[in-house]
Structure 1
Amino acid sequence: MLSDGCILCHQGAKLVLFVTGLCDRTCWYCPLSAERKDLDVVFANDRQARTDTDIITEAEAMDALGTGVTGGEPLIVRDRTVSYCRLLKEHFGPDHHIHLYTGRAPTEADLTALQGIVDEIRMHPPHEVWDSIMQTEYPKSARLAREMGFAIGIEVPSLPGIGALRPMLSLLDFFNINELEWGETCADQMRSRGMEPTDDLHNAIEGAAEWAEEITDDPKVHFCSSGFKDSVQLRERLIRIATMTARPFDEITEDGTITYGRIRSDGDLTILLADFDEESYEIQSDGSIECAWWLLDELTTNEDLELSIIERYPNKGMIVEVNPL
């Protein structure tokens, strides 16, 4: 069973809003990178956000239909989280769907603060409490959240013993399992438990899909594979951003990256530009020219020019590859 938030994620239509890397849990399988873990930083998708405008700009760049609020632990900075959720709802309207991840069992005060601005809550009980889950605060929190109008679920990685969470199912609207993935900051902990990636090309942990089968027979449970997140969810989000932000001469690839040409020279490039259509190039602040990649074909014999084909994430994102000609 897919929650409303998952449906939008599958479409690549959700902004990922990372509100802090601070957390009061010490989960050994935490996948956060060293650039985020235990640091009080904010990211909108893959861009660091320092102002409200940064968040809105990134959401508009992808025509976001919703937002997933994550961390760290968003409830550690509850006032900040509430402020961002209200900002998004006021800017995009009440139909902008917001789901929030938390490792805590939200209290009545937490839920009251989030009411009306968060649609869906995804609780992550830490692995060490799974065997005694019904003796924790999570059942009480789930019941209260439902009474207050939230969609409530659990979202956890596929770990051995996940079947111990089955008694929670009757209290939930959905139950998401993410295939356990290898991470740079948790690699030593995984090795100490005899865990290894399935192969050299993927981050999924060997056996993780099988562990999830302890509970996937229930219709409320949805298993999200590592491959799906990489090959579909991320790609759809990139394609969405690229469609909104690509320049006329950028070519959007099937993976959602963009490709264009770059021309550099110590000489004067204005004569060269006389032969280019206005929409086929853009002059950069360093004097280089970015243009439709195919325009470089006729320039390869000019030894005064440094020519490259660039592939990068959309909206001035990370460069994936530079191919000199």
Structure 2
Amino acid sequence: EAEKMSALGTGVTGGEPLIELDRVVEYCRALKEHFGPDHQIHLYTGLAPDEAMLRRLQGLVDEIRLHPPHECWPCILETDYARSAALAREMGFAIGIEVPALPGIGALAAALPLLDFLNINELEWGETCAAAMRERGLELEDGMHNAVLGARQWVKELPRDPKVHFCSSVFKDSVQLRERLKRIAANTARPFEEVTDDGTVVYGVLEPAGAVDEFLESLDEDDYMICEGRIEMAWWMLAGDGAGLPGNKYVVERYPNGGMVVEVTPL
């Protein structure tokens, strides 16, 4: 997966990765050995790792992003998260807190002296927890995005500080995801697939209803692929030279590397 997207680093997430500490150590060591020590690895955790855990992660994980529960925020300096942050920093980790924007987030400002960063993600609507979000009086900001109404206002409780970073819902969708897809597409697209500015791939499909041998003989080997009776090829070849061929013809746009189909356009 890392090679597919030419990844410069890896995020270890879950679930809770520290419940499977042996697996985390094994995978991080494999990544560092394969890509070298400059391959940045950051780990997200809802736990407050103690010294024994941190010792095992030293040299493998570069950065730890703590997720203290909402109920801990008002007394953050009295929690194990504060103690873990101070210890991790002493041991050479980059350490921070990363949480969604929620009411009362200003209380986390007290922890800034212990941290290298405080990352705030704009609260997003989730289909799996929609009922619980409605029970809490949360609603969507608009009909176009996943951002929850009020999340930006709650963030204003925090001071202006270079350690505080805000990531909007729009940025995640329009920049982070798109750039990742573009790297994957550049590495995995077949020779006849067109890579779009959004990181999707576009190609043509012919479901033949007659002989097409003469047409295929006119193409180079890299110009097409036969997949379960379908012929997949450059969409412009199908729309141009293949326009008179018998059978169903359409253009497919999908996420790279065999991902989700975005759109199918008949020709």
Q: TM-score band (shorter)?
A: over 0.9
Partner residue of 1:185 out of 118, 121, 128: 128
| Amino acid aligned to 1:309 | V
Matches within 5 A, 1:1-325: 58-284=1-227, 286-298=228-240, 299-302=242-245, 304-325=246-267
| Structure 1 position 216, deviation (Å) | 4.8
In structure 2, how many angstroms separate the alpha carbons of the residues matched to 1:66 and 1:154? 19
| Amino acid aligned to 2:229 | G
Larger Rg: 2
In structure 2, how many angstroms separate the alpha carbons of the residues matched to 1:219 and 1:250? 43
| Structure 1 position 181, deviation (Å) | 0.2
| Structure 1 position 210, deviation (Å) | 1.2
| Structure 1 position 143, deviation (Å) | 0.8
CA deviation string 1:199-218 (max 9, x = no partner): 22210001101111111511
CA deviation string 1:90-144 (max 9, x = no partner): 1111111000000111111111111110000000101111111111101110111
Partner-residue secondary structure (3-state), 1:180:
coil
CA deviation string 1:11-41 (max 9, x = no partner): xxxxxxxxxxxxxxxxxxxxxxxxxxxxxxx
| Structure 1 position 69, deviation (Å) | 0.7
Is the 8 Å Cα contact of residues 262 and 291 (structure 1) preserved in structure 2?
Answer: yes
In structure 1, how many angstroms separate the alpha carbons of the residues matched to 2:203 and 2:80? 53
| Amino acid aligned to 2:231 | I
| Amino acid aligned to 1:200 | G
Q: Any unmatched runs of 5+ in structure 2? A: none
In structure 1, how many angstroms separate the alpha carbons of the residues matched to 2:223 and 2:76? 60
In the other structure, the counterpart of 1:8 is none
| Structure 1 position 266, deviation (Å) | 4.2
In structure 2, how many angstroms separate the alpha carbons of the residues matched to 1:261 and 1:146? 53
In structure 2, how many angstroms separate the alpha carbons of the residues matched to 1:64 and 1:139? 31
* Structure of higher RCO (CA pairs closer than 8 Å, 6+ residues apart): 1
In structure 2, how many angstroms separate the alpha carbons of the residues matched to 1:269 and 1:86? 51
Is the 8 Å Cα contact of residues 96 and 119 (structure 2) preserved in structure 1?
Answer: yes
Aligned residues: 266
| Structure 1 position 224, deviation (Å) | 0.2
| Structure 1 position 219, deviation (Å) | 1.4
Is the 8 Å Cα contact of residues 109 and 159 (structure 2) preserved in structure 1?
Answer: no
In structure 2, how many angstroms separate the alpha carbons of the residues matched to 1:231 and 1:216? 27
Q: Any unmatched runs of 5+ in structure 1? A: 1-57
Distance change (3 Å), C-alpha of 1:153 and 1:276: same
| Structure 1 position 270, deviation (Å) | 2.2
In structure 1, how many angstroms separate the alpha carbons of the residues matched to 2:157 and 2:206? 56
In structure 1, how many angstroms separate the alpha carbons of the residues matched to 2:210 and 2:92? 65
